[in-house]
Chain A
Amino acid sequence: MTDARMGPTTSVPPGTSVPPGTPTAAGTAWHGAASRLRAERLRVGYGQSDDILHDVDVAVPEGELTVIVGPNACGKSTLLKALARMLAARQGQVLLDGQPIGTLAPKAVARRLGLLPQGPTAPDGITVSDLVARGRYPHQNLLRQWSARDEQAVVEALLAANVADLADRNVDELSGGQRQRVWIAMALAQETQLLLLDEPTTYLDIAHQVEVLSLTRRLHRSGRTVVLVLHELHLAFRYATHLIVMREGRIVAEGRPEEIVTADLIERVYDLPCRVVPDPVTGRPLVLPLDQDAAWVAGRP
C-alpha cells in the first residue's frame, strides 16, 4: 500500500495536468500520489437538466481503496459514471493514463478500467460461469472468441470472488450477496487494474455488505486500485483508505477517513448534528447521529 501524504484539500492544484500524448505517464495530481484516472473541471448533467457535477477536479489515487460518500443526489454515482465514460462531459474531461477517455477505443478502455454499475441485470437463465465469462469481452473478438488465457482468467475471477462453488448455478437462483460477488467476479475477469463499483452493497443485509466489502478490500490489497460509491458511512470509513466527500455536485473533502472525518464535516455535508467517536473495533471514525427531539441530545458536548 502506498503511503502518500494526503491532506483534506478540496481540489487538485492547477498546473499539474499530464501533457497529452504521454500515454504511459501517470498523473501526479494528488500531492505526489500517482493517478491513472482523473477528471479535470468536469461538468456533467442528464438531458436538459441542470449540471449535476460542478467543475469537479479529482484524481483517483493509485493503489488506494477510494470510497465516495455524500447525501442522496450529491452526484457521487454521477461522478463514478463519468469517470467510467458512461456519461459524456458537458465541459472538462476525464483522463485515463493522460488521454481523454472518449478518444480511446472502447475495448482498450475496458481492458484497463472495469465498472460494475448499480443493480446490473443478468440475462435470463445464465449460469454463473457464463456470466463471469462475459467479462472477457474486451480481450476477445470474432476470430478470437476463447483462449486458454480467457479460461484461466475466469477461473481465477471465480476463485477470487469466492463463487467457484456456484459456477454451474443459475444466477437467478442466488442470494443477493452471492449475486453481487458473481458480478464482481465478472468485473475481475476483465483483468483491469482499476475497478469502479457503484453502490455494490445496496439492498444487501449487513452480513452480505461486509462480505462484499471484505472482498473489495482483498482486491485492493492484491494490488488493484478500487473506487466505491457507498451510502453507509460506518462501512465507508472502515474500509476506505482514501475518502471523497461530496455535496451538491462538489467535492467537500478528500483524504484518509481518520484524518478528515469530523463532526463538523458530517454536519456540514449531511445537515445532521452528530458526534464522531473512534470505532471500538477499528479505531476509524464512527458517526453517531444526534436526533434533535431526543432527550439524550442534552448530553451533547
Chain B
Amino acid sequence: MSVASVPDRDVLARGVAASLRRRHTTVRLGRTGIRFATRAAQVNAALVAAAVVAAVVGIMIGDYGIGLDQVGASILGVADDQLAQYFVREVRLPRAVCALLVGAALGMSGAIFQTVSGNPLGSPDIIGFTTGAATGALVQIILLDGGTLAVAIAALLGGLVTAAIVYGLSWRAGVAGFRLVLVGIGVGAALGAVNALLVVKASLEAAQTAAQWLAGSLNATLWPEARAVAIALAVLTPVAIGCSRALAQLPLGDETATGLGVRVERSRLVLVLVGVGLMGVATASTGPIAFVALAAPHLVRRLARTPGTGLIGSALMGAVLVLVSDIVARRLFAPTELAVGVITGSLGGLYLIWLLAIERKRL
C-alpha cells in the first residue's frame, strides 16, 4: 500500500539504491561481503602512504644522514655502508616501528573509549587511565628502584587497576558514558596528585628518571620494546575488530542497540579491556605520549566524514601522528632530542584546534 504510484516507486527505489552504493564499496566473495565507506577507505590508504613516507624519512634523516638507496639496502642487510646499516637496523628502524605500533595502539584505544563513553573527551589520557599507568611506573621507579621491564609491567598494572576502579565506580546497572568520563577525570586528578607527591619525595636521581619517563619518549626504544607492542597488538587487534560492529552500533544508544541484537554490556566490557590493554602496553613501553588517543579519532573522523569512529583509521592516524612527531622531536633542537610527548601535545593540539575552527566556519 505505497503512497507513490508504481513507476515513481521504481524511480525512487533506484535512486535510493544508487545513493546507498555511492558512498560505500562492497567487496564480495561468495556469501561473504565486506562493506566500507569509500571515503574512509581512501583516507586510510592516504594514511598508510603517509606512514610509510614518514617512516622512511625518519630513518633517512639524523646526525648521520642516510640516502634512500642505503636505507633499502640496509633493511635487506646488503648495504655497502656498514655504519648506515647499523643505524638503520639497530637504531632507527626499531624506533620507527615502535613509533608506528605505539601510535596505532593509542589511536585504537582512543577510538574505543570515545565510542564506548559516547563522549569526545572519553580518551584514556583524560579519564585517568594513563595517569594510573604513570602511578604504577613511578611507584616502581621511585619506591622500588625497578628496571625497565619492571617499570613497564608496573605501568601496565597501574593502568589496568585504574580502569577497574573507574569502571567499578561508574557502574550503576550498566555504565553510562558521561559518568565514566566524570569519574575518570576525578580518579585521574587524585592519581595526578599521588604522582606529584611521589616525585617530590624521590631522590634526585630517581626524580630525574621519573621525569624522563613521564615525558613519554621513544629515545630509548629498540627491538625489545617494538616486539612487546607488536605482540600486544597482534593479540588485541583481532578482538577489537571482532567487536567493531557492535562498537559502531553503540552510538545509537543502549536501547536501540539492544533492540538490534547487540550484547551491549558485554561488548562494552570486552572493548574497555582491549582499550586498556592497548593503552597500557603503549604507555608501558614509551611512557605516556600525550594527546594521540584523544586527537587521532577526531582527526580521522573529520577527514573521513563518517558518523562513527573507525578503529583502523584511528590506528593509522595515531601511527602517523607519533611517527611525524618523533621526527620533529629528534630534529627540532638537534643534536638534543626532545620527548615525543612534548611534540604530540603541541602538534596534535594545534591541528585539532585548526580543524575545529574550520568546522565552525562551515556551520
- B84-113 CB mask vs A (1 if < 8 Å, else 0) is 000000000000000000000000000000
| B33 touching A144, Cβ below 8 Å | yes
Q: Count the A residues whose beta carbon is within 8 Å of the partner chain — how many?
A: 57
| B259 touching A159, Cβ below 8 Å | no
Q: How far, in angstroms, from A116 to B252 measured CA to CA in the complex? A: 11
Output the nearest chain A residue to B266 by Cβ-Cβ distance: A106
Interface size class of B (residues with CB under 8 A): 35 or more
Q: How far, in angstroms, from A85 to B15 measured CA to CA in the complex? A: 36
- Residues of chain A lying within 8 A (CB to CB) of residue B35: 145-146
Known interface pairs A122-B252, A155-B17, A159-B4. Does A144 touch B259 (Cβ–Cβ under 8 Å)?
no
Known interface pairs A120-B255, A123-B251, A138-B261. Does A129 touch B241 (Cβ–Cβ under 8 Å)?
no
Q: How far, in angstroms, from A117 to B336 measured CA to CA in the complex? A: 58
Tell me whether A147 is interfacial, beta carbon within 8 Å. Answer: yes
- A99-127 CB mask vs B (1 if < 8 Å, else 0) is 00000011111110011110011111111
Which residue of A114, A123, A151 has the most chain B CB atoms within 10 A of its CB atom? Answer: A123
Known interface pairs A126-B307, A167-B16, A218-B1. Does A107 touch B245 (Cβ–Cβ under 8 Å)?
no
Which residue of B9, B23, B255 has the most chain A CB atoms within 10 A of its CB atom? Answer: B255
Q: How far, in angstroms, from A115 to B9 measured CA to CA in the complex? A: 27
Known interface pairs A86-B258, A159-B4. Does A137 touch B13 (Cβ–Cβ under 8 Å)?
no
| A135 touching B16, Cβ below 8 Å | no
Q: How far, in angstroms, from A179 to B308 measured CA to CA in the complex? A: 19
Q: Which of A47, A138, A146, A164 contacts B15 (CB 8 A)?
A: A164
Tell me whether B262 is interfacial, beta carbon within 8 Å. Answer: yes
Interface residues of B in 154-194 (CB under 8 A from A): 172-173
| A121 touching B17, Cβ below 8 Å | no
- Residues of chain A lying within 8 A (CB to CB) of residue B3: 162
Interface residues of B in 20-50 (CB under 8 A from A): 20-21, 23-24, 26, 31-35
Tell me whether B242 is interfacial, beta carbon within 8 Å. Answer: yes
Tell me whether A175 is interfacial, beta carbon within 8 Å. Answer: no
Known interface pairs A85-B258, A134-B260, A162-B3. Does A123 touch B34 (Cβ–Cβ under 8 Å)?
no
| A110 touching B253, Cβ below 8 Å | no
Q: How far, in angstroms, from A159 to B15 measured CA to CA in the complex? A: 11
Q: Which of A107, A116, A221 contacts B261 (CB 8 A)?
A: A107
Output the nearest chain A residue to B259 by Cβ-Cβ distance: A115
| A124 touching B307, Cβ below 8 Å | yes
| Distance of B125 from chain A, by nearest CB (Å) | 22
- Residues of chain B lying within 8 A (CB to CB) of residue A160: 2
- Residues of chain B lying within 8 A (CB to CB) of residue A110: 259-261
Tell me whether A3 is interfacial, beta carbon within 8 Å. Answer: no
Tell me whether B269 is interfacial, beta carbon within 8 Å. Answer: no
Q: How far, in angstroms, from A111 to B15 measured CA to CA in the complex? A: 27
Tell me whether B221 is interfacial, beta carbon within 8 Å. Answer: no
Q: How far, in angstroms, from A160 to B21 measured CA to CA in the complex? A: 20
Tell me whether A143 is interfacial, beta carbon within 8 Å. Answer: yes
Q: How far, in angstroms, from A165 to B259 measured CA to CA in the complex? A: 26
| A151 touching B259, Cβ below 8 Å | no
Q: How far, in angstroms, from A237 to B12 measured CA to CA in the complex? A: 34
Known interface pairs A86-B259, A165-B12. Does A155 touch B20 (Cβ–Cβ under 8 Å)?
yes
- Residues of chain A lying within 8 A (CB to CB) of residue B12: 159, 164-165
Tell me whether A130 is interfacial, beta carbon within 8 Å. Answer: yes
Q: Which of B9, B242, B245, B253 contacts A121 (CB 8 A)?
A: B253
| A123 touching B16, Cβ below 8 Å | no
Interface residues of B in 243-284 (CB under 8 A from A): 244-245, 249, 251-253, 255-256, 258-263
11 A-B pairs besides A145-B26, A151-B17 with CB distance below 8 A are A108-B261, A110-B260, A121-B253, A125-B305, A129-B19, A130-B307, A133-B20, A143-B32, A154-B16, A159-B16, A160-B2
A–B complex contacts, Cβ < 8 Å, 28 sampled? A86-B255, A86-B258, A106-B262, A115-B256, A117-B255, A117-B259, A120-B255, A120-B256, A121-B252, A121-B253, A124-B251, A124-B307, A125-B306, A127-B307, A137-B245, A137-B249, A138-B260, A145-B33, A146-B33, A155-B17, A159-B2, A159-B9, A164-B12, A164-B16, A167-B15, A187-B259, A190-B260, A221-B1
